[in-house]
Amino acid sequence: MFEKVLIANRGEIALRIHRACKELGIRTVAVHSTADADAMHVRLADEAVCIGPPPARDSYLNKAAIISAAVITGADAIHPGYGFLSENADFARMVEEHGIVFIGPSPDHITMMGDKIEAKRAMVSLGVPCVPGSDGPVGDLETAVKLGAEIGYPVLIKAAGGGGGKGMKVAYDADQLAEAYRGARAEAGAAFGNDVVYIEKYLDHPRHIEFQILADAHGNVVHLGERDCSLQRSHQKVLEESPSPALNADQRHEMGEVVTSALKKLGYRNAGTLEFLYQDGRFYFIEMNTRLQVEHPVTEMICGLDLVREQIRIASGAPIAYTQADIRLQGHAIECRVNAEDPETFAPSPGRIAEYHPPGGLGVRVDSALYSGYKVPSNYDSMVAKLIVHGTSRNECLMRLRRALDEYVIGGIKTTLPLHRKLVQTPEFIDGRYDIHWLERWMGLKK
């Protein structure tokens, strides 16, 4: 096991990693920008090294500074957290070249999954379902008709050279196809000077469902069930839950088998997440995240495992100490991301925390680096806390979440707590009837 781990991140995830290290008896090195000199994880870490000025490119994205800090403090391993350098294959490679362990997958797997086309190709070959389509230009209407029948309606005709919704038409059945095909080509030609189009299946009300996996260096792979992250605003996840209200045990088991078998064949190592769109009983792979995710605690709450601890153990070469059959997913968990933002306008709201009082009691977990008197810097991401609640059933979890949200006090800045308090009272959320568009529609941001 490692003696000393350097935490190449900030905020709640840096604290999260610090906690896992302490519980393994590992010493911690916090690296921080000058803006974070007073941060909680800096105060708690065994050692702290200032690596640069506030802009992330000069500090948390500064590979040389972080590796130098690891060298001068004698750290054995680096945990990158999420964001920043966590999916940077160059960084992972540099870390390894300095004889330091990168707590994550191999640089090659990071590279592969970082290239979305390559990732999709790999997943198709490994038997993971992706969004079906023409896989290339569709030169005439006959081919389009044939593909439409194969793929199943609705289908989307998309400009190859396009973007921004231009040159994009939906056909809900074969009758609409001719018009959509011609319309898309015409629009594409006019907009981009290139009328080459593709066809793929159109998902109009998908959920975002992702599977958490763990893989060790000895060929063992397990999945820890799914997370439903469909509640999004501007492609940012707002609230996540596990299990998904949309899946049953058979679907979970079946898809779990598909992803574990794929990653076993791939020779993947450490934690990873396969993200899918899910609609009408079918999964469609979007991308794979080769790192810890923000929402990992909902999985921890239902499977009882500490995912950061598992990441560290795997990186140290230890085998996963259990099989898929040993993993029991129990009860229900929900995570609310609390951002330092105006809950109506979503304008950032950095500043000094006045009162700070997190909720406590049974089934309530708070992952946050906030404290009374802390100044939320304006330089970084606005997420300042995660409230995670567990219950034996989804209903118990929801009732507990409501009372915990009502107890949570963060003064001095605006936060999205009021948004969450409203959200957990809506009939659609209570019934689990939502897709990736629902939240924005409910908020009046989208028709």
Partner 1 sequence: MPTKNARPEFGPSSATVRRLAKLLEETGLTEIEYQDGTRRLKVARGTLAAPAAAAPAAAPAARAVEAVPAASEGPPAGAVTSPMVGTCYLSPEPGAPAFVKVGDKVREGQTLVIVEAMKVMNPIRSPRGGTVASIAVENGAPVEYGEVLLVVE
Catalytic residues: 291
Residue 68 binding: pick among its own copies, partner 1, none (C-beta 5-8 Å cut-off by kind) = partner 1
Q: Judged by CB, which is closer to partner 1: 22, or 394?
A: 22
How many other C-beta atoms lie within 10 A of the C-beta of residue 385? Answer: 23
**SS3 state at 413:** coil
Interaction of residue 383 with partner 1, rule CB under 8 A: no
Angle CA 123–220–105, to nearest 5: 60
Is the separation of the CB atoms in 206 and 198 below 8 Å?
no
Residue 24 binding: pick among partner 1, its own copies, none (C-beta 5-8 Å cut-off by kind) = its own copies
Name residues contacting partner 1, limited to 91-130 (CB under 8 A).
Answer: none
Looking at 27-35, 100-108, 158-166, 218-226, which segment touches partner 1 (CB under 8 A)? 27-35
For residues 4 and 23, what is the distance between their CA atoms, to the nearest angstrom? 13
| Nearest Cα to Cα of residue 283 among 358, 228, 321 | 228
**Tokens encoding 285:** 């792979």
CB of 261 to partner 1, least distance (A): 41
> Judged by CB under 8 A, which of 3, 23, 72, 127 binds partner 1?
72
CB of 271 to its own copies, least distance (A): 15
User: In sequence order, which residues have a C-beta less than 8 Å from that of residue 28 and are 6 or more positions away?
Assistant: 4, 5, 6, 7, 17, 18, 21, 22, 41, 44, 45, 46, 47
CB of 383 to its own copies, least distance (A): 15
Query: Exposure of 281 by Cβ count < 10 A (0-12 exposed, 13-18 middle, 19+ buried)?
Result: exposed
Interaction of residue 408 with partner 1, rule CB under 8 A: yes
Interaction of residue 357 with partner 1, rule CB under 8 A: yes
Q: Judged by CB, which is closer to partner 1: 8, or 188?
A: 8
Q: Judged by CB, which is closer to its own copies: 378, or 395?
A: 395
CB of 337 to partner 1, least distance (A): 18
> Judged by CB under 8 A, which of 67, 112, 131, 155 binds partner 1?
67
> Judged by CB under 8 A, which of 355, 362, 427, 447 binds partner 1?
355
User: In sequence order, which residues have a C-beta less than 8 Å from that of residue 179 and are 6 or more positions away?
Assistant: 169, 171
User: In sequence order, which residues have a C-beta less than 8 Å from that of residue 322 and are 6 or more positions away?
Assistant: 222
> Judged by CB under 8 A, which of 5, 17, 26, 40 binds partner 1?
40
**Residues contributing to the site for its own copies (CB under 8 A):** 15-16, 19, 22-25, 44, 297, 300, 304-306, 330-331, 355-358, 360-368, 371-373, 392, 396, 399-400, 402-403, 406-407
> Judged by CB under 8 A, which of 8, 13, 16, 52 binds partner 1?
52
CB of 190 to its own copies, least distance (A): 55
Interaction of residue 325 with partner 1, rule CB under 8 A: no
For residues 367 and 14, what is the distance between their CA atoms, to the nearest angstrom? 10
**SS3 state at 280:** coil
Looking at 51-59, 228-236, 253-261, 293-301, which segment touches partner 1 (CB under 8 A)? 51-59
CB of 384 to its own copies, least distance (A): 13
| Nearest Cα to Cα of residue 334 among 368, 291, 308, 363 | 363
Q: What DSSP string runs through 182-203?
A: HHHHHHHHHHHS---EEEEE--
Q: Judged by CB, which is closer to partner 1: 20, or 151?
A: 20
**Tokens encoding 446:** 């989208």
Is the separation of the CB atoms in 228 and 242 below 8 Å?
yes
User: In sequence order, which residues have a C-beta less than 8 Å from that of residue 110 and are 6 or more positions away?
Assistant: 87, 88, 89, 92, 104, 290
Residues engaged in binding partner 1 (CB under 8 A): 29, 31-32, 34, 37-38, 40, 42-53, 59, 64-69, 71-73, 352, 354-357, 371-374, 405-409, 411, 417, 421
